[in-house]
Amino acid sequence: MSVTEPQTTSSEAARRHLLSPAEDMAKLGSAARPLLRHAEGIHLFDADGRALIDGPGGMWCSQIGYGRQEMADAIASQVMALPYNSPWHSINGPAAELARRIATLTPGDLDHIFFTTGGSTAVDSALRFVQYFNNVLERPAKKKILVRYRSYHGSTELAASCSPRPQASPFDTADPKIVVLSSPDARDRPAGMSEEEHGLALAAEFERVIAREGAETLGAFIAEPVQASGGVIVPPANYFALMRAICAQHDILFIADEVVTGFGRLGHWFASEAVMGIVPDLIVFAKGVTSGYVPMGGFAISDRILARVSGEHAKGRYFSNGYTYSGHPVAAAAALANIAIFEREEILAHVRAVAPHFQAGLRALRRYRLVTDVRGAGLVGCVECAGDDDAMKQAIGARVDRHCQELGLVVRPIVNNCVLSPPLIIKRAEIDQMMDILAKAIELTE
Ligand code: PLP
């Protein structure tokens, strides 16, 4: 059998039978997504065996990079020992151990961990906890969820409803329980307003919304430390402390969605305390917890919050939310191996050391006429390209992407925003290589 035969067969099978996320229905069966067979370190290899730097790190998840034997061994031995147990009726060792480990990594008293199958189900579960919490506390009206414009919290119906974006949605995700606040986006900051004043203005908007809706109707505020899919939006430095204080004042649960920022992206296990300077009530995580080797997500919750609805307070009510694969033993074993690699290789310290170089490289791209903005924090960044209207922006993003691919780099244009969140193990020289390719691709597009 020739090497190319299985490739051709897989491409043909995909063309005829595979529906992918964000499928272009107008071109059903003719989309040209590359077929990947192999990955090593920070590189993906295409069908011709050509190495491409994985700019987006999978989908912001390939923290420790690809091809780790230790991960394969941990997964294989757990498959042989216990590949599955029903989380509704039993527990497994790796999930229990992982809960203990994550509790040591989270800030404050966020010492209980609920596992799910990915980020969207983790967001859903956290939001369902808010419903449970307020039902048990006999505050049935306190259920509305405060979200920010340009957020992305997932693709289940509830998480998608919490993700108001500029792009028109083909789905019916409007939900009367959702209340939308402004994005803390510097591009929306009125001319002459300082960053600090912007933070204060956003907090004042929050207080106006609370006065309008009534605190007794507002259950939770959910926020990404950096609005990732929304275009890598980094809020004003004073923003989260102000928002946290307002939530605490009105007993609105503060949920940090750390699906992207958790597990090292900003140089810390979690960004909440180390970067945002706050301790939330719940932290949602996924992606980096297993570095994408197997699916897993979850949330960490404050003991203080749990105490209000546990024991006699629960009034006999179960938190009856969960999945067949909650705390899956193979995923938990992979997560434990992933965390061990982080610690042995001191990946968090490495991120903190190389992040300034990465951010400086991105900022240097401002020299191009085509580049209208550059944003980022830690090892996540975004280069925004010019474009008069949506169609032109889309076309420019696609052109930069195509040139990058030809030159050996995958980027992930979100319309005209080229997003980079490479594997956290990336070296300085590889960052330079990535920036050189991006610069050449921009020159070719200009
Ligand atoms: N929350 C954030 C901040 C995300 O970026 C994503 C996915 O990109 C999700 C939630 C949903 O995660 P998943 O795709 O694993 O369901």
Choose among 364, 294, 305: nearest CA to 329. 294
Is the distance from CB of 235 to CB of 184 less than 8 angstroms? yes
Choose among 193, 183, 181: nearest CA to 234. 183
Is the distance from CB of 56 to CB of 411 less than 8 angstroms? yes
Pocket of ligand 1 contains residue 181 by CB under 6 Å: no
Cα dihedral 156, 421, 373, 242 in deg (nearest 10): 60
Pocket of ligand 1 contains residue 148 by CB under 6 Å: no
> Is residue 328 domain-shared with residue 384, that is, in the same domain?
no
For the chain, the average pLDDT equals: 94
| Concatenated DSSP letters of 33-90 | PPPP-EEEBTEEE-TT--EEEETTHHHHT-TT-B--HHHHHHHHHHHHH-S---TTT-
**CA 98 / ligand 1 centre spacing (Å):** 21
- Determine the atom of ligand 1 nearest the C-alpha atom of 121: 16
- Determine the atom of ligand 1 nearest the C-alpha atom of 156: 16
Distances (CA, A) of 113 to 122, 298, 369, 376: 11, 7, 47, 29
User: What is the C-alpha to C-alpha distance for residues 383 and 362, in angstroms, rounded to an integer?
Assistant: 7
Is the distance from CB of 61 to CB of 263 less than 8 angstroms? no
Residues 6+ apart with CB under 8 A from 336: 74, 94, 97, 98, 101
pLDDT-derived band at 5 (thresholds 50, 70, 90) equals low
Number of structural domains found in the chain? 2
Instruction: Give the CATH number for residue 367.
Output: 3.90.1150.10
Q: Could you read off the pLDDT of 25-76 as tens digits, one per residue? A: 888 887 678 888 899 999 999 888 899 999 999 999 999 999 999 999 999 9
Q: Give the H or E element holding residue 180.
A: strand 178-181
> Is residue 229 domain-shared with residue 245, that is, in the same domain?
yes
**CA 234 / ligand 1 centre spacing (Å):** 17
**CA 367 / ligand 1 centre spacing (Å):** 32
> Is residue 331 domain-shared with residue 422, that is, in the same domain?
no
Q: What is the pTM of this model?
A: 0.96
Query: Which of 145, 258, 260 for a ligand 1 pocket mutation test, highest count of atoms within 8 Å of Cβ?
Result: 260
> Is residue 113 domain-shared with residue 185, that is, in the same domain?
yes
Domain contains 142: yes
Domain contains 315: yes
- Determine the atom of ligand 1 nearest the C-alpha atom of 60: 8
> Is residue 153 domain-shared with residue 291, that is, in the same domain?
yes
Name the residue at shortest CA distance from atom 13 of ligand 1: 119
| Concatenated DSSP letters of 335-366 | HHHHHHHHHHTTHHHHHHHHHHHHHHHHHHGG
> Is residue 186 domain-shared with residue 80, that is, in the same domain?
yes
Name the residue at shortest CA distance from atom 7 of ligand 1: 154
Last residue of a domain, one of 344, 378, 408: 344
Q: Residue 2 above 70 pLDDT?
A: no
Residue type, 162: C
> Is residue 190 domain-shared with residue 339, that is, in the same domain?
yes
> Is residue 300 domain-shared with residue 351, that is, in the same domain?
no
Domain contains 225: yes
> Is residue 57 domain-shared with residue 155, that is, in the same domain?
no
Last residue of a domain, one of 309, 329, 344: 344
Q: For the sheet containing 38-40, what is the strand order?
A: 38-40, 43-45, 51-54, 409-410
**CA 177 / ligand 1 centre spacing (Å):** 20
User: What is the C-alpha to C-alpha distance for residues 302 and 306, in angstroms, rounded to an integer?
Assistant: 6
- Find the domain containing 400 and state its range: 34-64+346-445
- Determine the atom of ligand 1 nearest the C-alpha atom of 59: 8
Domain contains 15: no
Instruction: Give the CATH number for residue 122.
Output: 3.40.640.10
Q: Could you read off the pLDDT of 165-207 as tens digits, one per residue? A: 887 888 887 677 999 999 999 999 999 999 999 999 999 999 9
Residue whose pair of structure tokens reads 């919750």 in the numeric block = 301
**pLDDT score, position 273:** 93
Q: How many CB atoms lie within 10 A of CB 386?
A: 15
Q: Could you read off the pLDDT of 97-150 as tens digits, one per residue? A: 999 999 999 999 999 999 999 999 999 999 999 999 999 999 999 999 999 999
Q: Residue 241 above 70 pLDDT?
A: yes
Q: Which one-letter DSSP state was computed for residue 424?
A: T
> Is residue 94 domain-shared with residue 138, that is, in the same domain?
yes
Query: Which of 121, 123, 259 for a ligand 1 pocket mutation test, highest count of atoms within 8 Å of Cβ?
Result: 259
**CA 316 / ligand 1 centre spacing (Å):** 33
User: What is the C-alpha to C-alpha distance for residues 257 and 385, in angstroms, rounded to an integer?
Assistant: 27
Largest CA distance in the chain: 70
Domain contains 22: no
**CA 427 / ligand 1 centre spacing (Å):** 26
Pocket of ligand 1 contains residue 152 by CB under 6 Å: yes
Pocket of ligand 1 contains residue 185 by CB under 6 Å: no
**3-class state of residue 141 by DSSP:** coil
- Determine the atom of ligand 1 nearest the C-alpha atom of 123: 10
**CA 154 / ligand 1 centre spacing (Å):** 5
Domain contains 9: no
- Determine the atom of ligand 1 nearest the C-alpha atom of 120: 16
Last residue of a domain, one of 310, 344, 378: 344
> Is residue 56 domain-shared with residue 102, that is, in the same domain?
no
Radius of gyration of the chain (CA): 22
Domain contains 261: yes
Domain contains 234: yes
pLDDT-derived band at 412 (thresholds 50, 70, 90) equals confident
Q: Give the H or E element holding residue 219.
A: strand 218-223
**pLDDT score, position 22:** 87
- In a 13 Å sphere around the CA of 32, the CA atoms on its Cβ side amount to 2
Pocket of ligand 1 contains residue 232 by CB under 6 Å: no
**CA 350 / ligand 1 centre spacing (Å):** 25
> Is residue 48 domain-shared with residue 93, that is, in the same domain?
no
- Determine the atom of ligand 1 nearest the C-alpha atom of 119: 12
Residues paired with residue 257 on neighbouring β-strands, in sequence order = 284
